[in-house]
Structure 1
């Protein structure tokens, strides 16, 4: 079954143009430059990051609803404090814990409801410094459907494997702003491969995958964004998310790569 999960190696390529930020006492907190639109029931990542990593000692990060000051999620004393979340966000709002040490304080919000629409404020406190950024969610009744696979993918070490991802047939390639694959398991969010502005950007790949991943280029015009992963390694095992942005809509599907074993003997 698909498992929710976005989001980003920081700063990822498609965040390069983000300009919503506030500078206070020495560091810059950045967020999205435009509202984030997503359909009901989907997941969305609210970007919040700094240009340079901050010491985790005395670091505190909180996400709140800007309209009501409702606490969405808190990072304090070196860990997420899920027990202090407002009840509506239990098991739905998550940090990318392993990325916090790199200055990434983005929040993933799962299973969007109509009540989630509104502004969210990310506030970062580090010793004597602080800063904040604001992200806005727009929940859409329109749906962009992205399909993966109903079954986990498997391969032997050294083999190639295909991770399936396809987009609704009524969404034409010219409307697809971006498609990306990310490895998203165990609090990790690694960019595997990015398609943006009608081009595949292999240089965007995390070094673990660079030179080993590709789209089926001839199939993109048919809405097929499946990923070929070459020469599978043991560390490739995990959950992968295919996320697609088309106009104001975004959607994702996940595929698990499991049962990795030693290369078969002939």
Structure 2
């Protein structure tokens, strides 16, 4: 009777072992569901953490953007291994040793550059489990205040041109008449990428001579301020710009 009881006991214990092992080893890596939005020159933190707050001190932690083998930052064997780091990030990245103890894998990135925009992948590997999360970086540059000029006069129509430069990402352009009506559908807008990946915008609209006030609003698609300029046209075609 004792042997039978022991046999049944062993079977019960063995059947529980896989479930216990799976449960204790379960964790995931969580990036950010909201993009990190900042301007060139800013210092930012790219959020990422282990869901169960397991210590990452003894793990491999890797941040990369375009290629796994060209890390933005690499931590392994409790050291920062920067020999294989992408040159564009040298001297600009850091992980907090204290934060790693609580599973916080957030990357500190200094002196943000326009070329830094993109999706970053955060990896944690404890040799038994590999998990990753992602965080997007948007480098938002607010361009110059738009300038409006009279480009040409043809018959009863006048062509007005609105120009602004230094934007990232591409802005939105809105034209309004003297009554505040949106007349953007009557305009033609061109976006051009120039130095450092920034965007230059040029937009023109043809108007009738009797119209005397037009405004051009250049608006960022990210939560940043807007730039607006107005052009007053008198009956003698003297122009006044606000």
- Normalising to structure 1: TM-score of the pair? 0.42
Bigger Cα Rg: 2
Tell me which of the two structures has the higher relative contact order, counting C-alpha pairs closer than 8 angstroms and 6 or more residues apart.
1
